[in-house]
Amino acid sequence: MNRERLSQPIAEGESVILLDPEDDKEFFYKMRAKGHIDLHKGKILHAEVIGKPEGAVVRTSRGDPFLVFRPTLLQYIMHMKRETQIIYPKDLALILFYADIHPGCTCLEAGIGSGSLTLALLRGVGPDGRVISYEVREEFIERARKNIQLLLGESTNLEIKQRDIYEGIEEQGIDRIILDIPEPWRVVKDAAERLRPGGIFTSYLPTIIQVKTLVDALQEEKRFTSIQAFEALLRDWHIEGLSVRPCHRMVAHTGFITLARKGDSP
């Protein structure tokens, strides 16, 4: 969303976060002129929200306050509809930086799933970059398309192909390949052909057995170097008065990130 739009009031058709300031609980809705929201603290008419600037207070029929915000990309991803497992924001953040996804670059991903990674890649490559997404299942393509469209409208720099990546990559000279599929080692040889020299291969996998199989394949393919695998544990802290400690609950495991860089074989 451009700067000018961000300074405008909330419009019909936009998604918003309604935040209960009492407990920071978030509710996510798309605004329609005649819609309404039934919350545990009463009803809010969409018409009350449409036309408000971000950060404004709206009140329920019982008079309780809620704050209106446009969702951040993180909030949007956490609230959007899913039909697959998604890559979570803590891992997306690391993928964007470690794989050096930058404005103007061309990324190829598989599979699109619910579109979480795709949204992060589109943010990273910007309007001058390009994202090509391979996905085998039509219903997931539809889900991802809807999720991406609701946030970004039409994305002219996104190309979705209903295609099995194990059958080969069509594009040449790609800057980045990012895989969220069960057997990425089956793509290693083709990725070495299709990435440009200096290009980066990235994979996201839930189990360490898969990571080991992938790293073996990357090491065998002599054109890959700087092979690296890690996971990220994010621990929130509870800070209230003298109670300053890690939160009792955390998501202990999501997935492993594996990276490799393409050069000439030594």
Q: Which of 101, 99, 117 is nearest to 109 (CA)?
A: 117
HSE of 11, CA atoms in CB hemisphere, 13 A: 6
Q: Are strands 25-30 and 106-110 parallel, antiparallel or unpaired?
A: unpaired
Q: 10: buried, middle or exposed (CB in 10 Å: 19+, 13-18, 0-12)?
A: buried
Report the interhelical angle of 89-98 vs 116-125 (nearest 10°): 40
Given 134, 185, 224, 256, the residue binding ligand SAM (CB under 6 A): 134
Tell me if 177 contacts ligand SAM by CB under 6 A. Answer: no
Considering only the stretches 49-57, 82-90, 188-196, 210-218, report the one whose residues sit in contact with ligand SAM under the rule CB under 6 A: 82-90
Q: Are strands 15-20 and 65-69 parallel, antiparallel or unpaired?
A: antiparallel
Query: Residue 101 Cβ, how far from ligand SAM at the closest point, in Å?
Result: 14
Query: Residue 132 Cβ, how far from ligand SAM at the closest point, in Å?
Result: 12
Considering only the stretches 6-14, 67-75, 80-88, 235-243, report the one whose residues sit in contact with ligand SAM under the rule CB under 6 A: 80-88
Between residues 106 and 147, which has the closer beta carbon with respect to ligand SAM? 147
Tell me if 111 contacts ligand SAM by CB under 6 A. Answer: yes
Tell me if 164 contacts ligand SAM by CB under 6 A. Answer: yes
How far apart CA 175 and CA 200 sit, in angstroms, is 7
Given 79, 166, 227, 263, the residue binding ligand SAM (CB under 6 A): 166
Other CB atoms within a 10 A radius of the CB of residue 238 amount to 10
Tell me if 14 contacts ligand SAM by CB under 6 A. Answer: no
Other CB atoms within a 10 A radius of the CB of residue 54 amount to 15
Tell me if 135 contacts ligand SAM by CB under 6 A. Answer: yes
Between residues 47 and 229, which has the closer beta carbon with respect to ligand SAM? 229
Tell me if 199 contacts ligand SAM by CB under 6 A. Answer: no
Tell me if 73 contacts ligand SAM by CB under 6 A. Answer: no
Contacts of 168 (CB under 8 A, 6+ apart): 190
Site residues for ligand SAM per CB under 6 A: 84-87, 110-111, 113-117, 134-137, 140, 164-166, 180-181
